[in-house]
Amino acid sequence: MRFGAGLWCLQSTASCPRHPAVPYAEYLADARLLERLGYDALWLSEHHFFYDGYCPSTIAAAAGALAATERLTVATGMSLASMRDPERTAAECAELDRRYPGRFELGLGLGYRDVEFDGVGVPRKERAERRRTMLRATRRGAPGVPVWLGSALPEAVARAGAHGHGVLFSGANPLTLVRDLATAHREGWESSGRTGERPRVAALRNVWVTDDRAEREAVMAWFRASYVLYAGLGWAVPKRGETAAMDFTQEVDRALADAVSTAIVGSADEVAAGLREVAAVGVDELVFRVVVEGAPQAAVHEVLHRLAEEVLPHVADAEVVA
């Protein structure tokens, strides 16, 4: 089991206004702490043209955290594959892998906001083809860099497995969906007849360790607020099988409640029990969604400490990270 944290988005939002340089400074300090506590990975996220400065260049941001640390893996979850030149991106990935061997991992997302495609003159309908081109270019130009894809659709996840790519699942997905997707990924990999190490399944989870009732209420409120942001971005999870659709654009209140209901918040014992449930559905890497907008950095650091020291030693199959 690998443990990571994310997603660093480097925003300065309307609910927590701050100078745009502050999240960048905090990000580097966070990366150093993750490394010191023994976490495996830090995950970044990318969007373009959003009012809060949401990080538009995950590769540049990753390069910063890699330079600031010595062992930590820095992964993008996801870089938007349509928005960059494939050859230039492959060359950058190769350079990061040369400077920081084995420490950079590239997530390639399709993107979903029309304005992000339109802003750089890329037809949205080309996004799948462009991602295939990007995958070919990075595999050829930076063969040492693991590739992650993200989807909530079993057939797409199975294809990722069949191609040997890892998958990262949203923290808003209920565990039933995570289990179905992890199974699809494993079956895709096994049916491909590929050899070597099975690509990994990573799942974001809204996690917070606290014994304080007021803090528990606060973090739930801020988890909810974080999905208001995604409603603003226009993000949606399509309906699949027994898992209902989660359309932040249309049914904001219910979608927010559903997303927040997946959170694992409580004492160290409660969180360990919740994480064991997640591990049991076939997840190889837990990515703790602890970058909570309203939480002071000190509170985030406290949770990272407590997860590493009090929780992860008690998660099944977990290596002690602290």
Partner 1 sequence: MRLGLALPVGDEAAAAAAAEAAGCAAVLVEATGGAAVPAAAAAVVRTCLVRVAFPVRLGSDHPVTLAEDVAVLDNLSSGRIVAVVDTGDLGPEEAAEDLSVLLAALTPRPVRHDGSRWRVPAGLEGHRAPDRIEVTPKPVQVEVPVWIRGAAADALDPALPRLVADRGRVDPERRVQPAVAELAGTADALDADRDAVVAWADAGATHLLVRFPDPAEGLPLLGRFLAPEVAMPEFPRVIAEADPPPPWPGPARYVTPPQEARP
- Smallest gap, in angstroms, from Cβ of residue 51 to partner 1? 4
Q: Are 278 and 178 in contact (CB under 8 A)?
A: yes
Separation between Cα atoms, residue 319 and residue 322, nearest integer Å = 9
Query: Which C-beta is closer to partner 1: that of 212 or that of 242?
Result: 212
Query: Which C-beta is closer to partner 1: that of 74 or that of 256?
Result: 256
Binding residues for partner 1 restricted to 220-239, rule: CB under 8 A: 221-222, 224-225, 228-229, 231-233
Query: Which C-beta is closer to partner 1: that of 137 or that of 304?
Result: 304
Separation between Cα atoms, residue 183 and residue 188, nearest integer Å = 8
Q: Which of 35, 40, 46, 52 binds partner 1 (CB under 8 A)?
A: 52
Residue with tokens 């890699």: 66
Query: Which C-beta is closer to partner 1: that of 120 or that of 280?
Result: 120
Q: Which two tokens stand for residue 42?
A: 């830090």
Query: Which C-beta is closer to partner 1: that of 23 or that of 107?
Result: 23
Q: Are 131 and 143 in contact (CB under 8 A)?
A: no
Task: For helices 252-261 and 213-233, give the axis angle rounded to 10 degrees.
Answer: 130
Q: Applying CB under 8 A, what is the total number of residues that bind partner 1?
A: 39
- Smallest gap, in angstroms, from Cβ of residue 16 to partner 1? 7
Amino acid symbol at 209:
V
Q: Which two tokens stand for residue 194?
A: 């590929």
121: left (phi over 0), alpha (psi -120 to 50) or beta: left
Give SS3 for 200. coil
Separation between Cα atoms, residue 314 and residue 299, nearest integer Å = 22
Binding residues for partner 1 restricted to 12-41, rule: CB under 8 A: 12-22, 25-26, 28-29
- Smallest gap, in angstroms, from Cβ of residue 217 to partner 1? 8
Binding characters for partner 1, 123-152, by CB under 8 A (x = yes): ------------------------------
Q: Are 148 and 165 in contact (CB under 8 A)?
A: yes
Beta bridge partners of 236: 247
Query: Which C-beta is closer to partner 1: that of 22 or that of 322?
Result: 22
214 scored as a contact of partner 1 (CB under 8 A): yes
Binding characters for partner 1, 287-316, by CB under 8 A (x = yes): -------xxxx-x-----------------
Helix residue ranges per DSSP H, 42-126: 58-68, 86-99, 114-119
Q: Which residues bind partner 1 (CB under 8 A)?
A: 12-22, 25-26, 28-29, 49-53, 212, 214-215, 218, 221-222, 224-225, 228-229, 231-233, 252, 294-297, 299
